Amino acid sequence: MLVVRVWNYIRGYVIIRVEGINLERFINLAIANGIYFWDIERINYTAIRARVGLKGYKQLRKIKKRINCRVSILEKRGCPFLLHRVLKRKALLMGGITAIAIMYFLTSFVWVVEVEGIERVSEERIIKELESFGLKPGAFKYFVDTRDIETRLLIEMDQLVWVGINILGTRAVVDVVERTDPPSLIDKDVPCNIVAKKDGIINNIFVYQGQATVKEGDTVKAGQMLISGVVEEPDRPLRMVHAMGRVEARTWYQLTEEQDLKLTERVRTGRSEKRIALGLGKYTIGLSGKKPEFQYFDSVTDINRLVEWRNITLPVELVIENYYEVEVSEEILTIEAATELAVERAHQGLSGMLPEDAEVVDKKVKYYEMDNSRIRVEVVFETLEDISMEERIDIVHGED
Amino acid sequence: METKADVVKKGIADLLELPRDIVLDLPKITLVGNLQLYIENHKGIIEYSSGIVRINTKAGILAVTGAGLTIRTIVVEEIIIVGQIDRVEFLQ
């Protein structure tokens, strides 16, 4: 019935008062003519109140002539009347149109420029460059040629490898990828020493230029000088050279891993629920979705805030919660299996720590049972690697 | 006041197990508690006030008495009366 009422409201109807002697005849005649009435109420002996559609009301005139009765409108309801009233109020209508036009106009500008993906390059610099290309708060967004600006920014800034500009509403999001520079080398002409990068035992030392200060089998600490660039020879003046050489040393990498004997595994089943809510300050209003009925689940919550403007954060946010159903399985591991797992993890961790040129010569695994439920594994990699590192010689001038 | 044609129709309806309301053009009346009365296939209303509604049907005049009766819907085929319904009777 709600549908019928909504439909009647859209079409528009009037509440009429009919006065006369034989109103039953009036009703019969009306329905015989196909006029639809509803909510007929008796007011008193000579009057009824009823609702009738707009079209029906026009047709009533014919019946009025045939039966001696008086029809008056008590109320007009529905969209056509509402529309008519609104259209009559020209100022309001103009205001509404102007508001929409202004909103459309204002959303045609870029209001915020966000730079993402920067680590070393200064954000200010990028923003300044973008500004000079025409992408700045207040720029008309249809005039901003993002492809062109991307290319120009890449040409202008050597530190960037890739730039992507997306205009999302009134935000311009600039994604950048920085160039990773190779480590800077000291120029061949500049005198330098070779020092140890890390602790180790010298295995091999080849000196191309300079004077070795350690020998094979020596234990060195990080930062210790290995090959000196200051060459002292009898009967000759002191020489400063660019020390060069290869110092191969034994180094150790150690990693400790712990492992519970009770292994709980969470596997996503593929079923998920999404819940969207509107956060207003402390309150949240659910917009769609519901809390999941899963027994175990992982939840991931995204909070989207409106744009910040001059340190004013609106307390309005869109909260999207994703729930993923998981199956939890428990397994009691044997000590061997647990050790294997921990060692594998330690190996992975260690491989990440090793430099590229390091060569693993030995692996040692020690494990302890901590109590009945945990084990600890200590994995030590013994490696051979070049630990040489150039260090500039700072010449301290003595005071004359 | 049954005519001969009605008798024949009734016989056919019984024989073929057809619904009588269709064959004999009788009203079908549905009462929901004492709140709503739904009459299909009526022949017009004779009297309407908040205490009594009289409706013409093929089976005679149907009188509905109660309090605060209003006609929710009225079209050629059906009437819906709502309010507090106390009595529904046929006046022959």
Query: What confidence score (pLDDT) does residue A184 get?
Result: 59
Crossing angle of helices A146-156 and A123-133, rounded to 10°:
130
Q: Is B17 helix (H, G, I), strand (E, B) or coil?
A: coil
Interface size, chain A vs chain B, as Cβ–Cβ contacts under 8 Å: 46
Closest to A276 (Cα-Cα) out of A324, A320, A323, A322: A320
Distance from C-alpha of A119 to C-alpha of A125, rounded to nearest angstrom = 13
Write down the pLDDT at residue A63.
84
**Token digits of residue A268:** 């996503």
- Predicted pLDDT of residue A181: 66
B45's tokens: 């209303």
- A243 φ/ψ angles, rounded to the nearest 5 degrees: -65, 140
- Verify whether the Cβ–Cβ distance B76 to A32 is below 8 Å: yes
Q: What are phi and psi of A14, to 5 degrees?
A: -125, 145
Residue of B nearest to A21 (CA): B47
- Residue A189 corresponds to which tokens in the numbers above? 């002409």
> From the candidates A1, A5, A15, A28, which should be mutated to test the interface with B, based on the most B CB atoms within 10 A?
A28
pLDDT top residue among A119 and A291: A119
Q: Among residues A242, A239, A177, A165, which one has the least CA distance to residue A207?
A: A242
Residues A332-384 pLDDT 10s: 777 788 888 888 888 888 888 787 778 888 888 887 777 777 888 888 888 88
What whole-number distance in Å separates Cα of residue A249 and Cα of residue A237?
32
The phi-psi region of residue A98 (left if phi > 0; otherwise alpha if psi is between -120 and 50; otherwise beta) is alpha
pLDDT in tens, A126-177: 888 888 888 888 888 888 888 888 898 888 888 888 889 988 888 889 898 8
Alpha carbons within 13 A on the beta-carbon side of A129: 20
Query: Which pLDDT score is estimated for A183?
Result: 61
Q: B79 contacts in A (CB within 8 Å)?
A: none
Query: Distance from CA of residue B22 to its chain's centroid?
Result: 13
Contacts of residue A349, defined as CB under 8 A and 6 or more positions apart, other chains included, come to: A255, A257
How far apart CA A79 and CA A13 sit, in angstroms, is 9
Q: Which of A159-168, A183-192, A218-227 has the lowest mean pLDDT?
A: A183-192
Contact between residue A24 and residue B40 where contact means Cβ atoms under 8 Å apart = no
Rounded Cα distance between A291 and A280, Å, is: 19
What pLDDT does A270 receive? 78
Contact B47, B23 (CB under 8 A): no
- Predicted pLDDT of residue A48: 92
What residues of A are in contact with residue B48 (Cβ under 8 Å)?
23-24, 27, 40, 42, 48
* pLDDT band with cut points at 50, 70 and 90 for residue A22: confident
Q: What is the pLDDT of residue A97?
A: 93
Alpha carbon A5 to its chain's center = 45
- Give tens-digit pLDDT for A25-82: 888 888 888 888 889 999 888 899 999 998 888 888 888 888 888 899 999 988 888 8
Q: What is the pLDDT of residue A296?
A: 81
Tokens of A291: 């809390």
Give the residue with greater pLDDT, B55 vs A313.
B55
Chain B residues with CB-CB distance to A31 below 8 A: 44, 74-76
Query: Could you give the CA distance from residue A161 to residue A153 in angstroms, rounded to a whole number?
Result: 10
State mean pLDDT over A223-239.
Answer: 83
Q: Residue A227 in contact with residue A247, Cβ under 8 Å?
A: yes
Asked whether A31 and B75 are in contact (CB, 8 A), the reply is yes
User: Beta-carbon neighbour count of residue A23 at 10 Å?
Assistant: 23
pLDDT at B2: 65
State mean pLDDT over B63-81. 91
pLDDT at A100 over 60: yes
B58 close to A (CB below 8 A): no
Write the pLDDT tens digit of every residue in B11-36.
Answer: 887 888 777 777 778 899 999 999 99
Single-letter code of the amino acid located at A240: M
Question: Which chain B residues touch A35 with a CB distance below 8 Å?
Answer: none
Which helix (H) or strand (E) covers residue A133, if one does? helix A123-133
Q: What is the pLDDT of residue A182?
A: 65
Contact of B45 with chain A, judged by CB distance below 8 Å, is answered with yes
Mean pLDDT comparison of A241-245, A343-347, B61-65, highest-scoring range: B61-65
Of all residues in chain A, what percent carry a pLDDT higher than 90?
A: 7
Q: Do A45 and B49 touch (CB under 8 A)?
A: yes
What's the confidence (pLDDT) of residue A399?
Answer: 46
Angle at A151 between CA A149 and CA A154, to 5 degrees: 105
Cα(A377)–Cα(A364) distance, rounded to whole angstroms? Answer: 10
Residue A392 pairs in a beta bridge with: A192
- Indicate if the pLDDT at residue A101 is higher than 70: yes
Across the interface, whether the CB atoms of B46 and A42 are under 8 A apart is answered: no
Q: What is the pLDDT of residue A396?
A: 62
User: Per-residue pLDDT tens for A279-315?
Assistant: 877 777 777 777 777 778 888 888 877 766 666 667 7
Find out whether A139 and A133 touch, Cβ atoms under 8 Å. no
The ipTM value here is 0.79
Higher-pLDDT residue of A181, A10: A10
A206: left (phi over 0), alpha (psi -120 to 50) or beta: beta
C-alpha dist (Å) from residue A33 to A40, A115, A257, A288: 17, 71, 90, 47
Q: What is the mean pLDDT of residues A112-136?
A: 86
| Residue type (1 letter), A230 | V
Taking CB atoms and an 8 Å limit, are B71 and A24 in contact across chains? no
Q: Which residues pair with A73 in a beta bridge?
A: A16
Phi, psi of A116 (to 5 degrees): -120, 150
Query: What element of type H or E holds A348?
Result: helix A335-353
- pLDDT mean over A244-265: 84
pLDDT reported for residue B33 = 93
Is residue A188 predicted with pLDDT exceeding 80? no
Residue B79: predicted pLDDT: 92
Contacts 24+ apart (CB under 8 A), A150-154: A153/A126, A153/A129
| Minimum-distance CB partner of B46 among A24, A37, A42 | A24
pTM score, whole prediction: 0.43
Residue count of chain A: 400
Q: For A192-208, write each residue's pLDDT tens digit.
A: 888 888 888 998 888 88
